[in-house]
Amino acid sequence: MTTVEKKESYSNPTKITKTNSKYECLDCGHQFVSLSAAKRCTNCCSEEIHAIQR
């Protein structure tokens, strides 16, 4: 049951913060220059392997 809740939180593509004209994925902390790239990162953070690399 906790795994399902975790999946739901990771599948949210809006967990992006903007700092100094860069966009940061809140799931793994990677920074990107474009919002679309950051959104792709949050989408792939729903994969367990990527989430473990935080």
* The predicted structure's pLDDT at residue 22: 92
Q: Are 45 and 28 in contact (CB under 8 A)?
A: yes
* The predicted structure's pLDDT at residue 47: 61
Q: Domain containing 7: what range?
A: 2-52
pLDDT in tens, 5-54: 444 444 445 688 998 889 998 878 889 999 888 888 877 776 655 545 55
User: CA 33, 39, 44 angle in degrees (round to 5)?
Assistant: 120
User: Can you tell me the distance from the alpha carbon of 31 to that of 16, in angstroms, rounded to the nearest whole number?
Assistant: 9
Residue that is written with structure tokens 């399902």 in the block: 4
Q: Are 6 and 54 in contact (CB under 8 A)?
A: no
User: Can you tell me the distance from the alpha carbon of 7 to that of 42, in angstroms, rounded to the nearest whole number?
Assistant: 12
pTM: 0.54
Number of domains in the chain: 1
